[in-house]
Chains A and B, each alone.
Chain A
């Protein structure tokens, strides 16, 4: 795959013009990928820029990749805004950061015609609401995954089938959940099934009362918590060294633990799960836009999608990745739900930024700042 030489390009790439207040500008999207600028600065989740697929990219395009790791969506948003937004070219934002970046004018629309892999994406991720606004694509979907229930098969003898397990005082002092305000949505999701009278339909659009109910649930959980894990390796250590036996997790931890011989399993309980869907977004003031497009193209090809999926333990957006996954690791395609039916996808409530807009016309839902304050207060 060689970087295409330009023919009659209109300037460089879509930079969103001089002013950035979220208005979509279709007119200056590039029609082809120009010559690489020699460098590419990325903000990425840990493990999204492994040598396995970065090295071939670098040698083929001449774009040297510098990755800055971030541990949370919020961190990514902050980093993107640093230095007037020209510090980094791309960010692998999850759904709870992407809209904030779009509204803040930090990211620019992209021309998905330049990303052949996009054609083979599952339909739900071609133009999802968290990265496509008014028909404008602000990036290309990347991978996705569920927040699972992780448990130690030795200490949790009956297979759990409900999120109630992590609120069960039977496991006092041995529970762990992520240290992230977005976890409130998980509590809300659980409440939406167990206390339907609260009327929670969207775990990310919570009124004051619904938010308080979710936070109260978390407060009852707090004495059970050994530690709120902030880093993936925290949870790995907690389970490996016997400090936790049940908790909320990502598939990545499960794989790593199982590979090291720990007796753990994970599953999605009957109430369903929250999840994350990542998008590679292009900065409005990217200094290396051609390399950025080359990266988007590369990272969407089936083989690279497969490599990343297996490496991290997530599900690729590209349907064609399935066969590659099985080639790398037998059974991987099914293991990571790469060929799962659409119903599986629909069962996951992907992260998105809570705003005052409830989505049904009313504006009295709680926004993310409130969630953060409540989370800090709950933890104490």
Chain B
């Protein structure tokens, strides 16, 4: 590098990092900090004012009540299921798109993966209601084919399907890029050394693509973890997510301290997840 750059290195650094850092710290992190501090306070139920009365009541309620434990496990469980499903769906697709598809087809596939992202999330979920309803398209097709109907509308199954559908593009993209970046020479070398297709895939490709998969999983996991709209639209009687209770606490009951206490669950889960993901190199693959 030029000597000049070195001398003004620190100045450059301050300038280049100054603006985004200021943005982040001031607004975002401060907001987060204030939010999680308020978890230790409580709210006057009638006037709605937050009382700065330090206590652990909110956390106690969450830990001791079986309801919130159930809700938390349900949320995390479905998030995990969705992540695994999307990974399984995405890997073969991404492999084909990245390495086997001709250029023209690649463009088409790319557009097809991105178009759902441009289509309103709400409307896509709404379309699934039509598919999964009792008299919906899925049952109609099954009846036409001679099978009985399924009753998965408004249930955890429905949520699993819809979430997997919604976040699939987020999983496909980093995995696609990861497959693209594997140099052909590696695979040739592996073949030369005598490994057949599946072995090469398992021991050469997969480890190299893993960062991409983990990167995609950050999205699928976190997006499912915090979502409350899909459970509202396609969930059933027992489908409340952490996000639903949080949303009701904030936007409806005006009990921000309790909501903040609840929100520490996804925060902690994602915190751990991110640390693990970083170890696996996912950050370079985002």
Interface residues of A (CB under 8 A from B): 72, 74-75, 77-78, 81, 100, 103-105, 173, 222-223, 225-228, 230-231, 234, 237-238, 241-243, 355, 367-369, 372, 376-377, 379-380
Contact = CB atoms under 8 A, between A and B. Distances in A.
Contacts of A77: 48, 254
Interface string B103-145: 0000000000000000000000000011001111000000000
Interface in B130-179: 130, 133-136, 151, 153-154
Nearest to A81: B48
A77 B233 CA distance: 23
A228 B235 CA distance: 9
Contacts of A243: 133-134, 153-154
Interface of B: 45-48, 65, 67, 70-71, 129-130, 133-136, 151, 153-154, 232-233, 235-238, 240, 245, 248, 250-255
A100 B252 contact: no
A242 B237 contact: no
A178 to B, nearest CB: 13
B123 to A, nearest CB: 13
A105 B44 CA distance: 14
B151 A173 contact: yes
A226 B236 contact: yes
Contact of A103 (B47, B133, B135, B254): B47
Contacts of B70: 380
Contact of A241 (B135, B232, B237): B135
* Chain B, interface SS category: loop
A380 B133 contact: no
A227 B250 contact: no
Contacts of A237: 129, 133
A380 B67 contact: yes
Nearest to B45: A369
Nearest to A238: B154
Contacts, number: 85
30 contacts: A74-B252, A74-B254, A75-B251, A78-B48, A78-B251, A78-B253, A103-B46, A104-B46, A223-B237, A226-B153, A226-B154, A226-B237, A227-B235, A228-B237, A230-B232, A231-B233, A237-B133, A238-B154, A241-B130, A241-B134, A242-B134, A367-B45, A369-B253, A369-B255, A377-B67, A380-B67, A380-B70, A380-B71, A380-B238, A380-B240
A372 B252 CA distance: 10
Contacts of A242: 133-135
A105 B49 CA distance: 12
A241 B154 CA distance: 12
Nearest to B70: A380
A227 B237 contact: yes
Among B129, B154, B237, the one with the most A-chain Cβ atoms within 10 Å of its Cβ is B237
Nearest to A76: B252
B133 A241 contact: yes
Contacts of A372: 248, 253
A242 B134 CA distance: 5
A78 B46 contact: no
Contacts of B235: 227
Contacts of A379: 237-238, 240
A251 to B, nearest CB: 23
A372 B259 CA distance: 13
A72 B134 CA distance: 28
Contacts of B251: 74-75, 78
Among A81, A227, A242, A377, the one with the most B-chain Cβ atoms within 10 Å of its Cβ is A227
Given A74-B254, A227-B235, 18 more contacts: A75-B252, A77-B254, A78-B251, A103-B47, A104-B46, A225-B236, A226-B154, A226-B236, A227-B236, A237-B129, A241-B134, A241-B153, A243-B134, A369-B255, A376-B67, A377-B67, A380-B70, A380-B71
A104 B48 contact: yes
Contact of B46 (A100, A377, A380): A100
A376 B133 CA distance: 26
Contacts of A75: 251-252
Nearest to A228: B237
B195 to A, nearest CB: 50
Contact of A227 (B47, B154, B255): B154
Contacts of A81: 48, 254
Contacts of B254: 74, 77-78, 81
A74 B247 CA distance: 11
Nearest to A177: B237
B237 A74 contact: no
Nearest to A71: B252
Contacts of B237: 222-223, 225-228, 379
A70 to B, nearest CB: 9
Contacts of B71: 380
Among A173, A223, A231, the one with the most B-chain Cβ atoms within 10 Å of its Cβ is A173
Nearest to B232: A230
A78 B236 contact: no
Nearest to B240: A379
Nearest to B237: A225
A369 B45 CA distance: 7
A243 B139 CA distance: 12
Nearest to A74: B252
Contacts of A74: 248, 251-254
Nearest to B236: A227
